[in-house]
């Protein structure tokens, strides 16, 4: 939407432009006097255009001689100067000019330079006037020489004021005025450099807001909108930041560092802060700033200038600057921050102290996961906002179960509502519940969090329940204790104060040991089903890397992605990493021990459930097993257990022939549960092929195939032996 320029802004510009017009009128009169005194046949006309054409197209030698007689260094267009403080007095009546002058401590001369460069941006007639005064139709912008000639009354003053166009001068350093070389000369002098007012300064002086066109490809502009309802945010953090801002002096630089993994949540907090301050927010994307990389510094300079001029807050995520090949750009970024003005919010996943960098006045703000009580408030607010009513127990379960921030909670509730509406539309059934149930919300949460882990681990889909798993009573009791520890951890740790007594983490670290096929993965599924959590299998043999340090990086990514979902992590084949640690003989052994220690550290810090499986319990040393919450043994099933497995392995719809003897199968086939499941499934396919019930013949054929996979044989004689 175009910005309208009000009469007030135009009126604030007029006094400055009127002063410039008076100076230009005197300069034109002086130039015409010089031209009219020339003895050449070219006679100056009354129009600026024609006079200019005669004045600079074919310069007569007599005029050159006349100029050579001019006092060296004296301004060629010497005019009667107004009082030097005149520009300052006029600026005091114009709010934006006065603000700019106060911010940079500008002199009256510098304000006049700004007006000189601004005029062609407002009216093209100034281009013709400048071309005439500079003796060249190509020179339609003011050069340094014209500025000095117009604004200096003596040679001494003209020499002194050259410093205002140096690289470290306020106007140039702040990017207000760009000093550009004459493109028609090779290595032109300073006097031949042109003056170009920065586009953002033009917009500022015109009272326009919004992004500069040079920032549009990598920045977003968020205008404060009091009428817009604010989303759920971390209110305690927002209020703390607002108190810090209120305590600072007006326009004083202040920099926050938002630390945490939930980028949307941090952005929403920044938006809330800007909304409270009634200031715009600029969201900058570092990837866009770095493409191409050689323009990074210039883009950063423009960005910081926009923040200053627009009185905006800046939010910028800096993880993209952390790679080694960007070290120089990162240091330049930090150096630029020391010159910044206003409020800057940096965002990253690493703690600020770990970055080993110092920057002026950075205040770290941790976006650690909110506590269950705070999460409960967010859940209740999100549900109430869309008219969903869940009972207190369900809200408590959601707040305890998932480590989510307010933005994720609101997204989950919205997703659940949309899914219910979609299901109703598909079924055209008005009897479908209009409001999401707890299960709908759980499904929405799982779908939201799934993508974070899907690239790192495999989802374990079909899950068993307590009636399907066959284990010794003590092992089953341990599984239930694991579930109970997770369900009641907040009561014990927070309400009963054990978090003050425990020096280890509050996660649950479990080891499942036993031969292959004894139900370790199935047991993990039972736990996930009971707790209504997602289960992810991680193959440690794929995580462990031969490259030093890579294993730790892989593990860090896994645990970080699992935090919000409180997902159950099942590390299969733990022997790949947790073999019996021996004495250190070489560097490889030393780094292998570091990897083990790092995994133990991550497991203890993880507040969810981490399960390790191993086939070789004896290979794990005592130092490791002491740090586990549970060790559950999965023995090879005895005949009684095998009979239970054969009983539960069949789905209710499977047709079993009366001849199928489960007692015989349990007695004759001394196999683990995994093998029994494979045989049952293969026999079902054989029966389906003949459109018949599952018979002992099908089971014998399937058993032979399973034995072949195991490198064994099963003859019909052995099958029939009793």
Looking up tokens 């013949």 gives 697
pLDDT tens-digit map of 661-720: 999 999 999 999 999 999 999 999 999 999 999 999 999 999 999 999 988 888 777 777
pLDDT of residue 539: 79
16 vs 358, more confident = 16
User: Residues 613, 570: contact at Cβ < 8 Å?
Assistant: yes
Looking up tokens 């007029």 gives 14
Tell me the domain boundaries of the chain: 7-205, 219-366, 372-454, 473-633, 639-720
If we measure between CA atoms, which residue out of 580, 561, 581 comes closest to residue 569? 561
**Using N-to-C axis directions, what is the helix angle for 7-36 and 108-122, rounded to 10°?**
100
pLDDT of residue 446: 82
pLDDT of 585 higher than 90: no
If we measure between CA atoms, which residue out of 537, 541, 518, 516 comes closest to residue 528? 537
pLDDT tens-digit map of 591-624: 456 667 788 788 888 888 999 888 877 666 677 7
pLDDT tens-digit map of 187-214: 999 999 999 999 999 999 988 888 999 9
397 vs 499, more confident = 397
pLDDT of 155 higher than 90: no
d(CA 74, CA 560): 71
94 vs 144, more confident = 144
372-454 fold? Helicase, Ruva Protein; domain 3 (1.10.8)
Average pLDDT over residues 61-78: 55
User: Residues 306, 200: contact at Cβ < 8 Å?
Assistant: yes
pLDDT of residue 697: 92
- Residue 303 pLDDT level (bands cut at 50, 70, 90): very high
Domains 372-454 and 473-633 share a fold: no
User: Among the listed ranges 14-18, 216-220, 362-366, which one has the minimum average pLDDT value?
Assistant: 14-18
User: Residues 441, 412: contact at Cβ < 8 Å?
Assistant: yes
- Residue 580 pLDDT level (bands cut at 50, 70, 90): very low
Tokens of 33: 């006097």
pLDDT of 278 higher than 80: yes
pLDDT of residue 52: 43
pLDDT of 41 higher than 50: no
- DSSP string of 72-113, one letter each residue: TTS-TT------TTHHHHHHTTSHHHHHHHHHHT--HHHHHH
What is the three-class DSSP state of 612? strand
219-366 fold? Rossmann fold (3.40.50)
Q: Which residues contact 515 (CB under 8 A, 6 or more apart)?
A: 615, 634, 636, 672
Alpha-carbon separation of residue 42 from 33, 52, 717 (angstroms): 13, 11, 127
pLDDT tens-digit map of 306-334: 999 999 999 999 988 877 788 888 888 88
Q: Buried (b) or exposed (e) across 83-99, using 16+ Cβ within 10 A?
A: eeeebbebbeebebbbe
d(CA 374, CA 234): 9
pLDDT of 656 higher than 90: yes
259 vs 328, more confident = 259
Highest mean pLDDT among 51-65, 582-596, 637-651: 637-651
pLDDT of 51 higher than 60: no
Per CATH, domain 639-720 is 3.40.50.300: no
pLDDT of residue 551: 78
Alpha-carbon separation of residue 386 from 26, 400, 425, 440 (angstroms): 70, 21, 19, 14
pLDDT tens-digit map of 414-462: 999 988 888 887 776 655 556 889 989 988 888 877 766 777 788 887 6
Average pLDDT over residues 456-476: 87
Confidence (pTM): 0.71
If we measure between CA atoms, which residue out of 595, 622, 591 comes closest to residue 511? 622
pLDDT of 164 higher than 80: yes
d(CA 568, CA 558): 11
User: Residues 600, 643: contact at Cβ < 8 Å?
Assistant: no
Mean pLDDT of all residues in the chain?
Answer: 83
- Residue 587 pLDDT level (bands cut at 50, 70, 90): very low
Class of domain 473-633: alpha beta
pLDDT of 626 higher than 70: yes
Average pLDDT over residues 162-185: 92
pLDDT of residue 3: 43
Tokens of 194: 């042109």
pLDDT of 48 higher than 50: no
pLDDT of residue 324: 78
pLDDT of residue 83: 61
Taken as a whole, the chain contains a residue count of 722
pLDDT of 357 higher than 80: no
E strand or H helix at 246, and its extent?
Answer: helix 235-247
Residues of the chain by 3-state class (helix, strand, coil), percent to 5 = 55, 10, 35
């Amino acid at each position: 939407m175009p910005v309208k320029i009000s009469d007030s802004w135009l009126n604030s510009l007029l006094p400055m432009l009127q002063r410039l017009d008076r100076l230009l009128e005197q300069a034109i009169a002086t130039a015409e006097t010089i031209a009219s005194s020339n003895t050449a046949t070219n006679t100056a006309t009354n129009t600026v255009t024609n006079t200019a054409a005669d004045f600079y197209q074919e310069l007569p030698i007599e005029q050159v001689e006349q100029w050579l007689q001019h006092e060296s260094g004296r301004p060629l267009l010497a005019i009667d100067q107004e009082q030097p403080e005149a520009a300052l007095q006029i600026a005091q009546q114009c709010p934006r000019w006065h603000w700019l002058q106060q911010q940079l401590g500008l002199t009256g001369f510098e304000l006049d330079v700004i007006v000189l460069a601004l005029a062609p941006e407002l009216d093209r007639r100034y281009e013709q006037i400048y071309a005439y005064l500079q003796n060249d139709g190509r020179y339609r912008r003011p050069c340094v020489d014209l500025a000095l000639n117009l604004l200096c009354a003596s040679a001494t003053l003209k020499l002194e004021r050259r410093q205002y166009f140096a690289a470290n001068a306020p106007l140039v350093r702040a990017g207000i005025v760009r000093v550009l070389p004459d493109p028609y000369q090779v290595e032109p002098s300073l006097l031949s450099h042109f003056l170009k007012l920065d586009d953002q300064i033009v917009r500022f002086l015109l009272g326009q807001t919004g992004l500069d066109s040079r920032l549009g490809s990598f920045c977003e502009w968020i205008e404060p909108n009091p009428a817009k309802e604010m989303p759920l945010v971390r209110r305690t953090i927002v209020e703390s930041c607002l108190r810090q801002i209120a305590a600072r002096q007006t326009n004083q630089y202040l920099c926050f560092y938002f630390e945490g993994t939930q980028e949307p949540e941090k952005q929403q907090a920044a938006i809330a802060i800007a909304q409270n301050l009634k200031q715009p927010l600029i969201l900058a994307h570092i990837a866009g700033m770095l493409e191409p990389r050689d323009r990074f510094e210039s883009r950063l300079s423009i960005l910081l200038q926009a923040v200053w001029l627009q009185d905006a807050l800046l939010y910028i995520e800096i993880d993209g600057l952390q790679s080694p090949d960007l070290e120089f750009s990162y240091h330049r970024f930090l150096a630029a921050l020391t010159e910044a003005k206003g409020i800057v919010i940096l965002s990253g996943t690493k703690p600020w102290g770990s970055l080993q960098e110092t920057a002026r006045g950075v205040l770290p703000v941790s976006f650690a996961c909110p506590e269950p009580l705070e999460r409960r408030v967010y859940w209740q607010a999100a549900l109430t906002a869309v008219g969903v009513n869940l009972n207190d127990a369900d809200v408590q379960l959601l707040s305890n179960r998932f480590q989510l921030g307010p933005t994720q909670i609101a997204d989950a509730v919205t997703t659940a509502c949309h899914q219910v509406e979609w299901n109703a539309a598909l079924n055209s059934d008005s009897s479908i519940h209009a409001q999401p149930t707890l299960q709908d919300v759980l499904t929405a949460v799982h779908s939201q969090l799934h993508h974070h882990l899907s690239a790192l681990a495999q989802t374990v889909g079909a899950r068993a329940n307590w009636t399907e798993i066959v284990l010794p009573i003590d092992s089953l009791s341990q599984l239930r204790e694991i579930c109970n520890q997770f369900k009641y951890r907040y009561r014990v740790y927070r309400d009963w104060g054990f978090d003050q007594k425990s020096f280890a983490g509050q996660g649950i670290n479990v080891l499942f040991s036993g031969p292959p096929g004894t139900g370790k993965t199935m047991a993990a599924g039972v736990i996930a089903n009971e707790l209504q959590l997602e289960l992810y299998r991680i193959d440690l043999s794929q995580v462990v890397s031969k490259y030093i340090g890579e294993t730790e990086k892989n593990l860090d990514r896994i645990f970080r992605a699992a935090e919000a979902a409180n997902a159950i992590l099942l590390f299969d084949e733990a022997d790949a990493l947790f073999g019996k640690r021996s004495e250190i003989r070489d560097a490889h052994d030393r780094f292998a021990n570091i990897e083990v220690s790092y995994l133990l550290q991550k497991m203890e810090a993880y507040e969810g459930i981490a399960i390790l499986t191993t086939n070789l319990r004896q290979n794990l040393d005592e130092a490791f097993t002491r740090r586990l919450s549970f060790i559950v043994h999965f023995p090879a099933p005895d005949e009684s257990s095998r009979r239970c497995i054969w009983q539960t392995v069949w789905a209710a719809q499977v047709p079993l022939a009366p001849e199928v003897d489960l007692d015989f199968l349990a007695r004759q086939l001394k196999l683990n549960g995994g093998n029994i499941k494979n045989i049952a499934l293969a026999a079902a396919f054989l029966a389906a092929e003949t459109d018949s019930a599952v018979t002992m013949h099908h089971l014998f054929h399937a058993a032979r195939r399973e034995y072949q996979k195991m490198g064994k044989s099963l003859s019909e004689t052995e099958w029939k032996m009793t």
